């Protein structure tokens, strides 16, 4: 599946070879930022290090002089696949040539380079990647930490990677509930505004139409700053301390601003007012992946939400929003991340549980996801109540199950890997 979806070629504009995996050729033809990272987790799990390296090098091949890397790289498909994609890039005449979007996606890139390095001990590759990564993380800090508290802001729901995540309803002005066409126009309206402001961040901050500090994004940021520090250590680079300090600052700000002890959850917050958006999605427990988080916090979050029959317990967990939330819809829909189960969420929460020593709960999650894939194949997402597969077919991300199996040296990996 991964090989069939692999695209290689030569870009005249960037004078480089490129190589990337389409998450699903029909629906998602570009090289996507966080999809590439997820593919690298799968590829390294399968021992495909050369392909993993090529994917990472291509991801940074269009990097701007300021360090920016967009969330969609239009290589062999420069022309927009959907008309709404136009709003996700800066106004430009480049639409017929390779170019990248003006959006970002969760920054898993340091962890993926670390995975490749751990598997290959290839210092040359690390030395090539390190300056690129440093520039990228510098860009994030200087451009998206608007108020200097360490937390990064996203400027459109799509930057979270969880496009129609119900948390954002109230921010875009949609009455919280099951998605309708109105939500579509509200969210596309955010991108259209950003486009008309030419993605000038100072203007977007001033206008404050959509500015959110999202829990998932910032958790991944904190994790990757630690990975940056580890990579620096591998090269005897004194910047290691700088990244460790920054990661601590991010985690402290998350605990202070996003955590609510009364309801035991981490919530997305408005950037400027820091108001919590109290919607229960799986990201309420993402920060558990961070080692050293206070034990009482993890215990409360898991006990209150994960096994709660009203919220996240389901025959095929984890639903992408609590079952008792007014936006919950378990069926197939163009409005993604509003009820169904994504292998991505299970992969992430599996790590949270595993590293916090909730091995039994972690195992349950792994077993149900294996059952789901055996039953319905590698689909984009699934019905959490019936297990029915939905969305793109032969969807690459569901291969993350291989990483889940590898985390614990699982023994059923073989039956899955031959299909990937």
Site of interaction with ligand GLC (CB under 6 A): 23, 28, 32, 34-35, 161, 163, 336
Residues 133/108, Cβ–Cβ less than 8 Å:
no
Residues 387/316, Cβ–Cβ less than 8 Å:
yes
Shortest distance in whole angstroms from residue 216 CB to ligand GLC:
11
The token pair at 409 is: 């040296």
Which residue, 34 or 267, has its beta carbon nearer to ligand GLC? Answer: 34
Query: Distance between alpha carbon 232 and the CA centroid of its chain, in Å?
Result: 23
Shortest distance in whole angstroms from residue 237 CB to ligand GLC:
31
Which residue, 32 or 354, has its beta carbon nearer to ligand GLC? Answer: 32
Shortest distance in whole angstroms from residue 311 CB to ligand GLC:
22
Shortest distance in whole angstroms from residue 91 CB to ligand GLC:
22
Shortest distance in whole angstroms from residue 23 CB to ligand GLC:
4
DSSP assignment, residue 174? P
The token pair at 280 is: 């229960």
Shortest distance in whole angstroms from residue 59 CB to ligand GLC:
13
Pair type for strands 268-270 and 276-277: antiparallel
Residues 264/305, Cβ–Cβ less than 8 Å:
yes
User: H/E element holding 364?
Assistant: helix 359-376
Secondary structure E strands in 155-267: 212-213, 259-260, 265-266
The token pair at 369 is: 């996801």
Q: Which of 109, 101, 111 is nearest to 135 (CA)?
A: 109
Which residue, 32 or 136, has its beta carbon nearer to ligand GLC? Answer: 32
Which residue, 161 or 330, has its beta carbon nearer to ligand GLC? Answer: 161
The token pair at 62 is: 């269009």
Shortest distance in whole angstroms from residue 333 CB to ligand GLC:
12
Shortest distance in whole angstroms from residue 217 CB to ligand GLC:
12
Rounded Cα gap, residues 15 and 13, in angstroms: 6
Which residue, 108 or 336, has its beta carbon nearer to ligand GLC? Answer: 336
Which residue, 28 or 382, has its beta carbon nearer to ligand GLC? Answer: 28
**12 burial via Cβ count (<10 Å: 0-12, 13-18, 19+):** exposed
Q: Which of 327, 272, 260, 340 is nearest to 300 (CA)?
A: 260
Which residue, 159 or 388, has its beta carbon nearer to ligand GLC? Answer: 159
Rounded Cα gap, residues 217 and 81, in angstroms: 26
The token pair at 286 is: 């993402």
Rounded Cα gap, residues 221 and 286, in angstroms: 12
Residues 169/158, Cβ–Cβ less than 8 Å:
no
Which residue, 161 or 317, has its beta carbon nearer to ligand GLC? Answer: 161
């Amino acid at each position: 599946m991964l090989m069939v979806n692999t695209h290689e070629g030569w870009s005249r504009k960037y004078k480089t070879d490129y190589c990337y995996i389409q998450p699903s050729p029909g629906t998602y033809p570009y090289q996507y930022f966080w999809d590439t990272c997820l593919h690298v987790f799968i590829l390294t799990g399968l021992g495909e290090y050369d392909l993993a390296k090529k994917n990472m090098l291509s991801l940074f091949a269009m990097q701007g002089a300021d360090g920016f890397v967009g969330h969609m790289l239009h290589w062999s498909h420069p022309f927009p696949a959907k008309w709404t994609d136009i709003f996700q890039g800066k106004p430009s005449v480049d639409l017929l040539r390779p170019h990248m979007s003006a959006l970002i996606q969760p920054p898993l890139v340091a962890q993926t380079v670390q995975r490749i390095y751990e598997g290959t001990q290839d210092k040359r590759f690390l030395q090539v990647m390190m300056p690129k990564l440093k520039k990228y993380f510098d860009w994030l800090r200087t451009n998206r930490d608007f108020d200097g508290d360490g937390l990064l802001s996203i400027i459109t729901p799509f930057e979270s990677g969880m496009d129609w995540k119900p948390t954002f309803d109230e921010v875009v002005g949609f009455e919280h509930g099951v998605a309708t066409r109105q939500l579509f126009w509200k969210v596309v309206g955010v991108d259209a505004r950003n486009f008309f402001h030419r993605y000038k961040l100072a203007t977007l901050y001033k206008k404050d139409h959509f500015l959110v500090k999202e829990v998932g994004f910032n958790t991944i940021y904190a994790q990757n700053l630690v990975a940056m520090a580890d990579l620096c250590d591998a090269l005897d680079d004194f910047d290691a301390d700088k990244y460790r300090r920054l990661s601590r600052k991010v985690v402290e700000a998350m605990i202070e601003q996003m955590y609510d002890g009364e309801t035991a959850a981490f919530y997305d917050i408005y950037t400027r007012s820091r108001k919590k958006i109290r919607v229960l999605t799986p990201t309420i427990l993402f920060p558990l992946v961070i080692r050293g988080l206070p034990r009482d916090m993890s215990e409360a979050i898991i006990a209150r939400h994960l096994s709660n029959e009203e919220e996240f317990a389901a025959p095929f967990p984890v639903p992408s929003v609590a079952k008792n939330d007014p936006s919950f819809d378990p069926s197939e829909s163009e409005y993604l991340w509003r009820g169904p189960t994504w292998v991505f969420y299970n992969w992430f929460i599996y790590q949270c549980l595993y590293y916090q020593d909730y091995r039994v709960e972690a195992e349950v999650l792994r077993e149900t996801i294996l059952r789901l894939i055996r039953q319905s194949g590698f689909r984009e997402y699934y019905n959490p109540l019936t297990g029915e597969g939905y969305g793109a077919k032969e969807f690459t991300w569901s291969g993350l199950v291989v990483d889940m199996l590898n985390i614990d040296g699982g023994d059923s990996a073989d039956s899955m890997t031959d299909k990937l």
